[in-house]
Amino acid sequence: MPSNRDYDHLFKLVLIGDSGVGKSCLLLRFADDSFTDSYITTIGVDFRFRTIPVSDKTVKLQIWDTAGQERFRTITSAYYRGADGIMMVYDCTHRESFDNIDTWLSEVNRYANDSTVKILIGNKSDLKEDQQVTAEEGEQKAKALGFSGFILTSA
């Protein structure tokens, strides 16, 4: 039976991290190529799709943006199940968000599949004068916690 899909592979990715680290801005920039300098509070979850070419295949990414506030944790943890990848985001200008990665990881390890790929993302790297976490610290934490990769970016 022929498939009507416009992609070869579908991957579910989940953005997590403290409130205010820039998860929604990262998603808007990547999925819609848009930018907002106003603070966006996600209530519960939001998601976007982006289709990209990878080698000779078409890959569709379903990217879930989760609320960082504690009161939404029971809702958002359900989205870890079945995720192909988890992107843990911290704010380079806010040390507490970096320190909280350990807490986020324990939650992911509790609810996500063992095969879920985990990537650490340091956001707001353009704000050098306000930086509280160095790129080296981010790389070291990613390695120490067994992440598949580390990205430093600014949305």
Average per-residue pLDDT in the chain?
A: 87
- The pLDDT assigned to 37 comes to 63
- The pLDDT assigned to 110 comes to 92
Per the model's pLDDT, the better-predicted residue between 5 and 135 turns out to be 135
pLDDT band at 131 (very low <50, low <70, confident <90, very high): very high
Non-local CB neighbours of 38 within 8 Å, separated by 6+ positions = none
DSSP track, the chain: -----S-SEEEEEEEE-STTSSHHHHHIIIII-----S-----SEEEEEEEEEETTEEEEEEEEEE--SGGGHHHHGGGGTT-SEEEEEEETT-HHHHHTHHHHHHHHHHHS-TT-EEEEEEE-TT-GGG--S-HHHHHHHHHHTT-SEEEE---
- The pLDDT assigned to 34 comes to 65
Per-residue pLDDT at 32 exceeds 60: yes
Please give the CATH number for the structural domain made up of 9-152: 3.40.50.300
Structure tokens at 121: 């993302």
What 3 state SS string does 100-123 have?
Answer: CHHHHHHHHHHHCCCCCEEEEEEE
pLDDT band at 1 (very low <50, low <70, confident <90, very high): very low
Q: What would the pLDDT profile of 41-75 be if each residue is shown by its tens digit?
A: 655 567 889 999 999 999 999 999 877 555 445 55
Per-residue pLDDT at 102 exceeds 60: yes
- 105/110 Cα distance (integer angstroms): 8
- The pLDDT assigned to 71 comes to 46
Q: What is the pTM of this model?
A: 0.85
- 141/120 Cα distance (integer angstroms): 9
- The pLDDT assigned to 154 comes to 93
